[in-house]
Structure 1
Amino acid sequence: MAAAPLPRGITGRHVLIGLIVFFGIMFAANGLLVYYAVSTFSGGDRPNPYRSGLNYNETIAEAEQQAALGWSTEADYDRGAGRLTLRFTDPSAAPVTGLSLSGTLVRPAVGSDDRAVTFREWAEGVYVSDVALGPGNWVLNVESSEQEGGAPVYRLKKRLIVAEGS
């Protein structure tokens, strides 16, 4: 009498091993993605958002004071010269002079390229900073005061796009 052939095909053991391997890979991949998402971006654009929230009324009052100034600003970056230029004008289109400007340039998604920038008045109402920026998205945050170390009278937050090879 000949031995009966072993059954071929998928058995319960094969299905169990397949499910364990599939879900193991999924959990490992998701865990890795969550780790990198949490460790590379804090989600906030201010160093202490809780404290900022506590001072909400003061923030609103400062925004109203800034709006009352009626200033307009233009930001431009010349990659060839490595120069960031800000132009400030008042409601009558006259240049705003004598400001003390300080700011930061940050990448929107990572903090590794963040840098502080200082501006000097180059012409009436025109302030420049010599800074080399790589291509991509940048966020410019500037605070201006009418004198060195004074309270900020104007805040600017503007996104800059530096084109590849421009």
Structure 2
Amino acid sequence: MSDTSLTDSGFRLKGHHVLLMLVAFFGVVFAVNAYMMKVAMATFSGVESATPYKDGLAYNSQIAEAKRQAELGWTVTGHVERNAEGVARVNLDARDAQGLGLAGVVARATLERPADKREDRTAELRELGGGRFAAQVDGVAPGQWDLVIEILRDDQRVFKSRSRITLR
């Protein structure tokens, strides 16, 4: 014959115990969600565009600009190096369709922080000759950045590129 009697440990799970466990569980969930909301709102730097509707209407003109840029046949190469003090050196090599260095243009480089637009840095590159341009940008933290290169001629943008880079 087998012994089927239960041993009494003295503790019995009652309704108020279950209620306290449920309240504690959802209290932890609520606290974590509140913390995540606080952190998310504190680090949100704003919207991508202040005028998204107008940007959408201008989409066809942006496609036309990209076609005009491709027809130029330019080769533009950008390189960024960052030192330990947070100073980044942006080097640019810009060549036309015949391989000759661009001259008489204004080159601008913007380092955009994907996670925080407040850290964006813009520099106008000085022409070194032979299609080479350079600038130094201060206050650049390590991590992922978007390098946006713009070339202007007669105050009109004729070239734009965007590249994701990682600075150490």
TM-score, normalised via structure 2 length: 0.80
Counterpart of 1:23 (choices 4, 26, 43) is 26
Aligned length: 157
Q: Take 2:21 and 2:51, find their aligned partners in 1: how far apart are those partners? A: 47
Instruction: Output aligned runs, 1:104-143, within 5 Å.
Output: 104-132=110-138, 133-143=140-150
The percent of aligned pairs where both chains have the same amino acid is 35
Q: Take 2:12 and 2:71, find their aligned partners in 1: how far apart are those partners? A: 79
Paired position in structure 1 for 2:6: none
CA RMSD of aligned residues (A): 2.5
Instruction: Output aligned runs, 1:143-154, within 5 Å.
Output: 143-147=150-154, 150-154=155-159
TM-score, normalised via structure 1 length: 0.81
How much has 1:102 moved relative to structure 2? 2.6
Paired position in structure 1 for 2:104: 98
Paired position in structure 2 for 1:52: 55
Counterpart of 1:161 (choices 149, 162, 166) is 166
Relative distance call for 1:84 and 1:109 in structure 2 (3 A) is: same
Task: Provide structure 1 residue ranges, at least 5 long, that are not aligned to the other structure.
Answer: 1-6
Task: Provide structure 2 residue ranges, at least 5 long, that are not aligned to the other structure.
Answer: 1-9
User: By percentage of residues, which structure has more strand?
Assistant: 2
